[in-house]
Chains A and B, each alone.
Chain A
């Protein structure tokens, strides 16, 4: 009895604490500490950015594997060309380039006055070394394979001439992945040196990552003098710090967090640039039948998922392409399978599963949005008689077992484009691809993709890529859901932030308003 009274008392006490807390949080406005720390940062012209994971892979430009690492080092490294926020390629270390009419010879002119962060001037030797090293050591298979098509690369005066064995309309996007580094410098893993608008200063493990303005940058360069990335354990810890005013910028926060932010920061909404779907293993019996896959597409209500998981934010997809690729993205595909429980049941009976079946959805547990999506899907699938169970695994297990060994039935995850071209998203579904985790096999698709790859004309290539997307939709290769909404919270005194069609944050654009 005594214990029960205590339990009630304890519950009341903690409830009061929480209620008191909520009341306080909503009435209290930007705290005073926020003002003081921020104003000193404004004076020093520096900002603090929160990131939810450490840069714990290599900092080497060709070895970095995490999207989070690329996002930060985008400010440190540059290729001969680099993408801008519209997805076009603009000149960087090269001042100009042209392509021969047959699409085989690329001539880049090295820009005058490009200086590495270590003070050395960039020469054609450095460029040749970078291409050679990248081809030999890159961890991105697509880049390695694109560079292997180079039959000759040589320097002519201040020009670099690259000759290909076969034309590749995407080649320039791979050139942007070949970051230019000083010849024979091997310390990148812990002390990266590039030509970008910011230079690396220091990295304290699980504490921070600091970059500073590269004063000898050839272009307009960075407006801020210093950017400190503070490493947080997870997005929740990051959010707490953000809300208390310790940060000037934080990306990838959720819709709920963005809405609950009380410190007057501006919220910008973009997209994550990834293809989230319930990926289905076509080797698993029910999913080998196209009618079953279509039934799943009809059974799952993507709008319902968006409403429940992100307050309606996010972009519906319908195929393996996200809207940042305006050229290829077709919004009509997102409506190919409108929510229809009856139709789904009918298709299931036709396929011989009138009473549904049971399968497991594997989800990497560290990605909350994917877990949330899977949970909603389970409920939606129940209505057509399909019992889905969720199996949460850690990221490493997912990569090795689910992705690598294709040991799964269904999985909710997102694929992004490692290079800024359509084939980064579409090459994996070719039946012979080693990354074809769903065991998708369609002759028609293989032909369309091959045709797109060998096309020299851009319009023709686009046509074939669109055909690929149509095939993925028609065959209901996967249950495509959404490109997740990406929320960025930013100090209202900062201006110039731009979303990129890829997973990067360009710090050189940011500045404090006068």
Chain B
């Protein structure tokens, strides 16, 4: 309990620092939201009036604390570009990124555990080499490149889907999930490779331990040893690794959303940065930071759960 309270404090402090940094970054880079809103032909008076309307003419620290107090009360402000509440925009876009994250995480788990066990328990030398080579290759290709290849191969050559022809979940869940398969796989593949590699070496090093030999000598079947003894220990580092992956998958979706033209929060984030749409950027940055901190927290808890020897302080 004490541990949870401590983590909560960390969460709050992290979010505070992240939001402050994002805010300050906007003060340093040139550019002004009124440029995006009014264009190059506007009169100076119109620009000044809009700045006053948005409160941009007031000192930096006052603006920050105003934003902060609004945020704490659940008021994320109004988008400069679209003139609608940021919370409405997020309610629209967050589920999309969330579906993508969950889906690629599911792919990572479903694919990597069986493959890892297969690689770790491979008896034949050939099998081992094949898995290692494929593993190396897929691990070294960045997700966005897999995405581009997937677009090209499945979209342009086989015409199985139309790249960029995203269907929102609001229109059709089936079509939406169908469209997400390739992007989710693109994010998952390098992660799968890493997890497989980890699980493999973890299984191999556990297999060499004394308790495994003892289990053998007691006459247990190879498969039973693997499931009951080796895996139990070998999975511990993998589980935490997977949990941390969940955080990285969310950030990985930033590029993949560009490649597949998925209108999630990452795309919104990028366009908001170039449009200097500060309230939107601020909200998304905080959400991503919160996600990462929370996922790491869950990873810690899981760690304790699978290995009671570890005590969290």
Q: Which residues of A contact B (CB under 8 A)?
A: 6, 9-10, 13-14, 17-18, 20-21, 24-25, 28, 31-33, 54, 56-58, 63, 65-66, 137-142, 144, 189-190, 204-207, 230-233, 237-238, 240-241, 243-246, 366, 394-397, 399-401, 403-404, 418, 434-435
Stretch touching chain A among B55-63, B98-106, B263-271: B263-271
Residues of A within 8 A of B274 (CB): 366, 394-396
B31 at the interface (CB under 8 A from A): yes
The residue that B149 contacts in the complex, of A17, A24, A25, A140, with Cβ under 8 A, is: A17
3 residue pairs, one from A and one from B, having the closest CB atoms: A65-B39, A396-B31, A241-B164
Q: Which residues of B contact A (CB under 8 A)?
A: 29-32, 35-44, 46, 81-84, 89, 92-93, 133, 136-137, 140-141, 149, 151-153, 155-157, 159, 162-166, 168, 258, 261, 263, 267-268, 271, 274-277
A232–B263 Cα distance when bound, in Å, is: 9
Task: Check A396 against B41 for contact (C-beta < 8 Å).
Answer: no
Task: Check A237 against B163 for contact (C-beta < 8 Å).
Answer: yes
A189–B78 Cα distance when bound, in Å, is: 13
Closest to B166 in A: A207
Task: Check B31 against A139 for contact (C-beta < 8 Å).
Answer: no
Residues of A within 8 A of B41 (CB): 65, 139-142, 418, 435
Task: Check B30 against A397 for contact (C-beta < 8 Å).
Answer: yes
Other 4 A-B pairs with CB < 8 A, given A6-B140, A58-B83, A138-B46: A57-B81, A141-B42, A206-B268, A207-B263
Task: Check A65 against B38 for contact (C-beta < 8 Å).
Answer: yes
A233–B258 Cα distance when bound, in Å, is: 7
Knowing A233-B261, A396-B36 touch, does A10 contact B31 (C-beta < 8 A)? Answer: no
Task: Check B271 against A66 for contact (C-beta < 8 Å).
Answer: no
Task: Check A28 against B89 for contact (C-beta < 8 Å).
Answer: no
Task: Check B162 against A66 for contact (C-beta < 8 Å).
Answer: no
A500–B302 Cα distance when bound, in Å, is: 63
The residue that B267 contacts in the complex, of A14, A142, A206, A394, with Cβ under 8 A, is: A206
Task: Check B165 against A246 for contact (C-beta < 8 Å).
Answer: yes
Task: Check A241 against B35 for contact (C-beta < 8 Å).
Answer: no
A138–B46 Cα distance when bound, in Å, is: 8
**30 examples of A-B residue contacts, CB within 8 angstroms:** A10-B140, A10-B141, A13-B137, A17-B149, A17-B152, A21-B152, A21-B153, A21-B157, A24-B156, A33-B159, A56-B36, A56-B277, A57-B37, A57-B39, A65-B38, A66-B39, A139-B46, A141-B41, A204-B263, A205-B82, A207-B168, A230-B165, A237-B164, A241-B165, A246-B162, A246-B165, A396-B35, A397-B30, A399-B31, A400-B32
Residues of A within 8 A of B136 (CB): 6
Closest to A399 in B: B35
| Chain A CB within 10 A, most for which of B151, B155, B163, B275 | B163
The residue that B43 contacts in the complex, of A9, A144, A400, A401, with Cβ under 8 A, is: A144
Task: Check B164 against A31 for contact (C-beta < 8 Å).
Answer: no
Residues of A within 8 A of B149 (CB): 14, 17
A233–B144 Cα distance when bound, in Å, is: 15
Task: Check B157 against A20 for contact (C-beta < 8 Å).
Answer: yes
The residue that B36 contacts in the complex, of A21, A57, A138, A401, with Cβ under 8 A, is: A57
Task: Check A63 against B38 for contact (C-beta < 8 Å).
Answer: yes
Task: Check B133 against A240 for contact (C-beta < 8 Å).
Answer: no
Residues of A within 8 A of B40 (CB): 65, 399, 403, 435
Closest to B37 in A: A57
A399–B41 Cα distance when bound, in Å, is: 11
The residue that A241 contacts in the complex, of B141, B163, B258, with Cβ under 8 A, is: B163
A58–B79 Cα distance when bound, in Å, is: 11
Task: Check A141 against B31 for contact (C-beta < 8 Å).
Answer: no
| Chain A CB within 10 A, most for which of B93, B163, B261 | B261
Task: Check B31 against A400 for contact (C-beta < 8 Å).
Answer: yes
A404–B47 Cα distance when bound, in Å, is: 12
Closest to A65 in B: B39
Could you tell me the distance in whole angstroms from the C-beta of A136 to the nearest C-beta in chain B?
Answer: 10
Closest to A14 in B: B149
Task: Check A190 against B83 for contact (C-beta < 8 Å).
Answer: yes
Task: Check A240 against B151 for contact (C-beta < 8 Å).
Answer: yes
Task: Check B42 against A396 for contact (C-beta < 8 Å).
Answer: no
Task: Check A401 against B38 for contact (C-beta < 8 Å).
Answer: no
Task: Check A233 against B39 for contact (C-beta < 8 Å).
Answer: no
Residues of A within 8 A of B164 (CB): 230, 232, 237-238, 240-241, 246
Task: Check B32 against A206 for contact (C-beta < 8 Å).
Answer: no
